[in-house]
Amino acid sequence: MTTADPTTTDPTTTDPIAVDETTTVPAPEPTRTPRVRIRGLRKAFDDKEILRGIDLDVRAGEVVAIIGPSGSGKSTLLRTINHLERPTTGLVRIDGEIIGYRQSGTKLYALPEAAILRQRSKIGFVFQHFNLFPHLTALENVSLAPIHAKGLQQTEDVRRQARDLLERVGLGDRVDHYPRQLSGGQQQRVAIARALALQPELILFDEPTSALDPELVGEVLDVIADLAREGRTLIIVTHEIAFARRVADRLIFIDDGRILESGPPAEVLDNPQHDRTREFLSRVL
Ligand SMILES: Nc1ncnc2c1ncn2[C@@H]1O[C@H](COP(=O)(O)OP(=O)(O)OP(=O)(O)O)[C@@H](O)[C@H]1O
Ligand SMILES: [Mg+2]
């Protein structure tokens, strides 16, 4: 028997989903259950609260860009969505499934690590510093997780699919290169192909271009824009404001662990409601 800790979270009292059906995004939802539903999310490290009550719904196929000052909690939010960080309180649901917990009656129990890994395999994550395995080729980096998930018998299928993915991000001629033999932009495109390999329901990007030389930024943004056009569900933390304006359906400004603004990019950028947003935009634009 697993001895998961009962958490103090009682979904009937602290998860406002049942009583808060109206505080969703204004745009009409194609399905009743959003792809991502975040309610009352808080995260503290030691005594310092970094996320201070995040509520956010993301529809399937929606592209949400997140901007905000350094230290405001953007990476922590992404890491909490896929349970690399366990929320202090609050819940994340993906397609209705609670991430990190199983519900039994009115109690939540922490899932064992293997079950969390299974949930996480449905959420792609692209990091600022690529995080490729240096001793594996591009093809091996992209194939590793699916071979693990599907078993060795399907290695040939997986490799074929990995090749296709690398082709799609414009790296069909680089499949046997090691990360050190690739430019930053190419490495990040390998990382995106890797994020696609398990057919994720959601892809999280944490400043995917901020480690790149300026001339390499465009090639990575183009790949992300293609994913947006394909109707994938994307949450992108970025400092590329022009890109966010062009590609995102919604732009969110986070300040000090809270969502301060959320709306169509043009609205948020051209007519921000808060001084903090204006101040931030005047620094980055
Ligand atoms: N594991 C951790 N332990 C302790 N503090 C942490 C941890 N992770 C993040 N923090 C703190 O949380 C705060 C928010 O960090 P976070 O990385 O989420 O900010 P950010 O908005 O992504 O900033 P940046 O734009 O610089 O990437 C920072 O003060 C950071 O030091
Ligand atoms: Mg960050």
Q: Is residue 172 part of a domain?
A: yes
- Ligand 1 atom 31, closest CA: 71
Q: Is residue 125 part of a domain?
A: no
Q: How many whole angstroms separate alpha carbon 100 and alpha carbon 92? A: 8
First to last CA, the chain: 55
Q: Is residue 178 part of a domain?
A: yes
CB 80 less than 6 A from any atom of ligand 1 = no
CB 45 less than 6 A from any atom of ligand 1 = yes
**133 CA distance to ligand 1 centroid (A)?**
24
- Ligand 1 atom 6, closest CA: 45
Enclosing domain of residue 163: 132-190
- Residue 17 is predicted with a pLDDT of 36
Mean pLDDT of the chain: 90
Which atom of ligand 1 is least distant from the CA of 237? 22
Give the number of the ligand closest to the Cα of residue 79.
1
Q: Is residue 185 part of a domain?
A: yes
**24 CA distance to ligand 1 centroid (A)?**
27
- Residue 4 is predicted with a pLDDT of 42
- Residue 31 is predicted with a pLDDT of 53
pTM: 0.89
Q: Is residue 169 part of a domain?
A: yes
pLDDT by residue (tens digit) across 32-63?
Answer: 789 999 999 999 999 999 999 999 999 999 99
Number of domains making up the chain: 1
Contact yes or no for 39/18 (Cβ under 8 A):
no
> Which of 149, 227, 240 shows the shortest CA–CA distance to 193?
227
Q: Is residue 96 part of a domain?
A: no
pLDDT by residue (tens digit) across 218-268?
Answer: 999 999 999 999 999 999 999 999 999 999 999 999 999 999 999 999 999
Question: In this predicted structure, which of 12-26, 109-123, 129-143, 159-173 has the lowest mean pLDDT?
Answer: 12-26
Looking from the CA of 278 toward its CB, the CA atoms found within 13 Å total 5
Q: Is residue 145 part of a domain?
A: yes
**73 CA distance to ligand 1 centroid (A)?**
6
